[in-house]
Amino acid sequence: MPTYEEARSIVLESVAPLGTERVETGRALGRILAEDIAAPWPLPFCDNSAMDGYAVRADDCRGPARLKITGYIPAGGSASAVVTPGCAVKIMTGAPIPAGCDAVVPFEETSVADDHVVVKGRVTVRQHIRFRAEDVREGDVVLQGGTPLRPPEISMLASLGKAFVPVYRKVRVAVLSTGDELIELGEPPSPGAIINSNSLAIAAAVREAGAEPVLLGIARDDLESHTEKISEGLKADALVTTAGVSAGDRDLVREVLAEMGVTSRFWRVDIKPGGPTAFGMKDGKPVFSLPGNPVSALITFEAFVRPALLRMMGRKRVVRPLVKATLTGEVRKKAGKVNFLRVGIEVRSGEYFASSAGDQNTGILRTMVLADALAVLPADKTFFAAGEKVDVHLLG
């Protein structure tokens, strides 16, 4: 039985980025850049005004000065006007700097009388001018492959004229729940029936990771149903099943996966909750078999599936950061397994404080709703005092 860290290493060593595709830059938010992007031209493209005001010669404005207005350059205009001694050119933000100008004076630092502008104070050379290539030089690598595309990256790509961008392909993840006790959302409940919340929860977690879920429904507790559903699931880039992976006489998932040629990499992990978790590979595709308990399913998805999906979509950082948090109350656990404690987080004076989100029984789904993080409690310790710092895996 691998440890938590060993199991995650096995998963991440087994997967690799998928192929790439080109998408419209305006639709690339959240995708992962597949290639380095070099600037085809500098930014700014030319010297331009950083303010609405007047283009002047600093030598003419060593103190209050009265200058003749001899031209006007709007944003998007051309720098055909020339600033000659004793003169000024009205200019808008972003407009190219005209010849002869070495400074811009904002409107609010001037007054206008007839066709003259009065500059109220001393002007320094280069003030309020954005110079060619001061942001990006032609040929600079401005974005590296593996970069998640946020609004700033989209802005940069557009500024460099990149209408389409190479990104890693989204992972298509088949999601399957198993068990005769399950009913779909909307069906009338009956004693012993359980609404299939796992499929919706795992699908939501898949979308949150940036991948595309494919819901397969429910595999009933017979070999034919399992074989049909799992066979369909193996057509996707990855398969996630929930339940049916323990040692009960109706837990058929591992048996069917083995018959279909899925190579098992591990079954069971040294963690709580989520011990009965299995992972295998089939033709380069990962197959995750998670526990049926909704709390355990979500925690093991976070621990193993999410990092794998992110790596398959080209991300370099695939594990959420661990931070130190101070426990507000004592915690006891049994030795032998890493425990994931569902906790709420409060920030005080820049420090994290962790409080239990409630009853840690895996049947208490509400604690996942209330949890901001998972405190990762090491296997060899059994007691954690109030005020002790522990590693916390932030969920947001």
Looking at residue 30, which CATH number applies to its domain?
Answer: 3.90.105.10
| Any domain includes 138 | no
Q: Which of 194, 163, 209, 181 shows the shortest CA–CA distance to 302?
A: 209
Tell me how many domains the chain contains.
4
Identify which of 385, 348, 392, 386 has the alpha carbon closest to the alpha carbon of residue 371.
392
Residue 135 lies in a domain: no
User: Please, where are the H alpha helices in 209-356?
Assistant: 223-233, 253-259, 294-300, 306-312
76: in domain: yes
In a domain, 8, yes or no: yes
306: in domain: yes
Both 330 and 282 in one domain: the answer is no
Both 382 and 251 in one domain: the answer is no
73 plus 97 within the same structural domain:
yes
Judgement on whether residues 351 and 219 belong to the same structural domain of the protein:
no
pLDDT value of position 279: 97
Q: What is the pLDDT along the chain (396 residues), one digit of tens a residue?
A: 899 999 999 999 999 999 999 999 999 999 999 999 999 999 999 999 999 999 999 999 999 999 999 999 999 999 888 999 999 999 999 999 999 999 999 999 999 998 999 999 999 999 999 999 999 999 999 999 999 999 999 999 999 999 999 999 999 999 999 999 999 999 988 888 999 999 999 999 999 999 999 999 999 999 999 999 999 999 999 999 999 776 655 678 989 999 999 999 999 999 999 999 999 999 999 999 999 999 999 999 999 999 999 999 999 999 988 999 999 999 999 999 999 999 999 999 999 999 999 999 998 999 999 999 999 999 999 999 999 999 999 997
- What local confidence, expressed as pLDDT, does residue 244 receive? 79
Where in the sequence is the domain holding 120, given as residue range(s)? Answer: 48-130
Is residue 137 in some structural domain? no
Strand partners, 111: 118
Q: How many angstroms from the chain centroid is the CA of residue 354?
A: 24
* Residue 27, in any domain of the structure: yes
- Structural domain includes residue 337: yes
pTM, rounded to two decimals = 0.88
- Same domain? 220 vs 259: yes
127 contact partners, CB below 8 Å, separation of at least 6: 58, 103, 104, 105
Which token pair is 265? 């990499």
102 three-class SS: coil
